[in-house]
Amino acid sequence: MLFSSTPKPKGLNIIIVGIGKVGTTLIDQLSKEGHDITIVDKDHNKVQTMAGLYDIMGLTGNGASFSVLLEAGIDNADLVIAVTDSDELNLLCCTVAKRVSKCAAIARVRTPEYSEEASYLREKLGLAMIINPELETAIETARILYLPTALEVNTFAHGQAELIKFQIPKDSTLNGMTISELNKQVSIAFIVCAIERNGEVIIPTGNFILSEGDFVSFVSTRSNAREFLKKTGFNTRQVKDTMIIGGGKFAYYLAKNLLNVGVSVKIIEKNKERCEELSILLPKAIIINGDGADEELLKEEGIDYAESFVPLTGIDEENVMLTLHAKQISKAKVITKINRITFKNVINSLDLGSVVYPRMITSEAIIKYVRAKSNSRGNNIETLYHMFDSRVEAIEFTVQENSKVADIPIMDLELKNNLLLCFINRKGKIIIPNGQDKIKAHDTVMIVTTHTGFNDIDDILK
């Protein structure tokens, strides 16, 4: 049964197959950006609820079925996004869509075996993207453990620039200092691009006075970022070991990343068969068969002395409780995985260390592609991250030949309010710009803003 809706006057025609956690996040974000969305899922109640809630088209059925895709409007679709719980169904759905339409296709694929063949599958099936939430989140989590002082570490310019978030601790030398004074004291190239204080997010000027408890995000080159933290009194040494609770796909990907750079890994997993699988897949890791929520077992396995602790059970509440327990009895760097994105105010009020949301990381990658595809001038978005509960966006754009921002001193550009130009990447060299610098064609430029929906670097102008 098809539920009608009011058609959107602009944007892409997008079919989303699968209304799970990622599908729901995509529906929420893409509908806000003005795209014409049709959802497909086997669960009639879910389809009806989401179609009514977001005023979009909804169809009950198998997204890999030719007839269902025809009814969903595949002939006129610009993009199909398959994010069901089944990798095989997602790949089949995209394959069918590509055979009957000129649309682009994105598949969520989580199985390690398929992920290792992602580039081959993408090329042979003609897909725009294959996205793996667990793998992408594991990579982000590993980056934080390489720099445990940070709450978040995001990369730009193919890893040459980093956006790092930290909290100013009690008795820090930063407390009471203006950003201008900090620039003079540290004397390396960096830019403070966003600050959260008492729940409010600010794009700061040089006169902004830093205070204990502020959440600060700054941008610099990778080497300068560590030098900045060192000079302001933060630890920059990566962790030597980590304890992971739960042995699912995320745990496997994270352990593999950490072992590759010499971090010792211990995984505690309830299921004996999964423990045997992990011991073969990760021969250098220590695999413990037991209940990670057992206080005695955690103590016996050395939680008191662990340098980092990552609970990766499938239950958010259990992850939160394990994190709070670890923070109470140890000095470990903790990272908390949260699947749901409700009750954010409650989550933010708890001391959970770094928090990662797999569904948000997945949706960011897809939204980056959608915005680039929406832009008639071509694929201008290189990187996209949401910050501070999606209230701020950090975007890296490629500058085209005919861009309105090119070859004009930055001080003469009429930029929108609540926006900072953070770096220019010119042939691999990262420039933290001043007013005299000019943006040139073929540069990539990173901006941070409280505005949403930018598709092109020219959108930064008033």
98-111 pLDDT per residue, tens: 998 999 999 999 88
Query: Is residue 333 assigned to a domain?
Result: yes
* pLDDT on residue 10: 59
- Where residue 290 falls among pLDDT bands split at 50, 70, 90? very high
> What is the pLDDT averaged over residues 60-82?
94
Q: Domain of 325: which CATH number?
A: 3.40.50.720
Q: Domain of 368: which CATH number?
A: 3.30.70.1450
For residues 351 and 396, membership in a common domain is answered with no
| Domain span holding position 314 | 241-355
For residues 208 and 246, membership in a common domain is answered with no
For residues 195 and 283, membership in a common domain is answered with no
Least confident span in 9-18, 176-185, 295-304: 9-18
Least confident span in 232-241, 263-272, 378-387: 378-387
Q: What percent of the chain is predicted at pLDDT more than 90?
A: 77
Number of domains in the chain: 4
> What is the pLDDT averaged over residues 242-252?
96
Phi-psi bin for 246: left (phi > 0), alpha (psi -120 to 50), beta?
left
- Where residue 3 falls among pLDDT bands split at 50, 70, 90? very low
Least confident span in 1-15, 182-196, 239-253, 316-330: 1-15
Q: What is the pLDDT of residues 24-34, one digit of tens each?
A: 999 998 998 88
For residues 105 and 122, membership in a common domain is answered with yes
* pLDDT on residue 378: 55
For residues 92 and 192, membership in a common domain is answered with no
Query: Is residue 236 assigned to a domain?
Result: no
> What is the pLDDT averaged over residues 221-239?
92
- Where residue 364 falls among pLDDT bands split at 50, 70, 90? confident
For residues 351 and 371, membership in a common domain is answered with no
For the cut 60, the answer to whether the pLDDT of residue 5 exceeds it is: no
* pLDDT on residue 4: 39
> What is the pLDDT averaged over residues 125-135?
91
> Taking all residues of the chain, what is their mean pLDDT, rounded to a whole number?
91
For residues 119 and 145, membership in a common domain is answered with no
For the cut 60, the answer to whether the pLDDT of residue 92 exceeds it is: yes
